[in-house]
């Protein structure tokens, strides 16, 4: 016999709220091709973070399941997903909206965004210094400026 699962926590308005946010206009056009996930640098180091899956969960109304996990804070806001989407879904801006909702609805501490900005700056500084260090190890003379 077919089993029917009823989840009382599903929120049918969730996708409309996201669609009303800047960048969320095209979310209902997603046809689940997975191009966003395939090009996402975060997915390649953490498979729990899956843009395609997050969009399906939004469309199904899984508000709490989308807003509460730690993985939504991993997005690097690189816009690769938005640039590659064949349906013009702007997932990077959708992630901005999700984070904003997560803070406003008490799923995350209010100062988390500020802390993540500091981590991003520190990570970029580490990347810059590491690349310069590797290049300085070589025998080829290079200047770090243009001109």
Residue 107 C-alpha from the chain's centroid = 16
Kindly write out the interface string for residues 103-142 of this chain, putting x where it contacts ligand SF4 by CB under 6 A and - elsewhere. ----------------------------------------
Taking the C-alpha atoms of residue 95 and residue 23, their distance in angstroms, rounded to an integer, is 9
> CA of 111: how far to CAs of 71, 97, 108, in Å?
17, 16, 9
Q: How far is the CB of 104 from ligand SF4 (least distance, A)?
A: 20
Token couple for 104: 């406003």
Only one residue has tokens 């046809």, namely: 31
Token couple for 112: 């988390």
Taking the C-alpha atoms of residue 98 and residue 55, their distance in angstroms, rounded to an integer, is 11
| 33 vs 135, beta carbon nearer ligand SF4 | 33
Neighbours of 95 (CB within 10 A): 21
Question: Does 83 interact with ligand SF4 (rule: CB under 6 A)?
Answer: no
User: Which residue in the set 4, 8, 31, 141 belongs to the binding site for ligand SF4 (CB under 6 A)?
Assistant: 31
Taking the C-alpha atoms of residue 15 and residue 120, their distance in angstroms, rounded to an integer, is 29
Question: Does 146 interact with ligand SF4 (rule: CB under 6 A)?
Answer: no
Question: Does 81 interact with ligand SF4 (rule: CB under 6 A)?
Answer: yes
User: Which residue in the set 64, 73, 87, 113 belongs to the binding site for ligand SF4 (CB under 6 A)?
Assistant: 87
Evaluate whether 24 touches 90 at the Cβ level (below 8 Å): yes
The stretch among 36-44, 57-65, 100-108, 110-118 that binds ligand SF4 (CB under 6 A) is 36-44
Q: State the number of binding residues for ligand SF4 (CB under 6 A).
A: 28
Question: Does 98 interact with ligand SF4 (rule: CB under 6 A)?
Answer: no
- Give the interface with ligand SF4 as residue ranges (CB under 6 A): 30-36, 39-42, 51-52, 55, 75-81, 85-87, 89, 91-92, 95
């Amino acid at each position: 016999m077919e089993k029917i699962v009823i989840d009382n926590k599903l929120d049918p308005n969730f996708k409309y709220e996201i669609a009303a946010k800047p960048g969320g206009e095209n979310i209902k056009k997603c046809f689940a091709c997975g191009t966003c996930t395939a090009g996402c640098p975060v997915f390649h180091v953490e498979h729990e973070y899956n843009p395609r899956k997050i969009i399906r969960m939004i469309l199904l109304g899984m508000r709490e399941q989308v807003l509460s996990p730690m993985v939504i804070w991993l997005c690097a806001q690189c816009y690769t997903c938005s640039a590659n989407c064949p349906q013009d879904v702007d997932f990077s801006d959708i992630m901005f909206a999700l984070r904003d909702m997560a803070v406003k609805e008490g799923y995350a501490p209010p100062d988390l965004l500020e802390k993540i900005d500091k981590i991003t700056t520190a990570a970029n500084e580490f990347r810059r210094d590491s690349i310069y260090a590797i290049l300085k190890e070589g025998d080829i003379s290079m200047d770090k400026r243009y001109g």
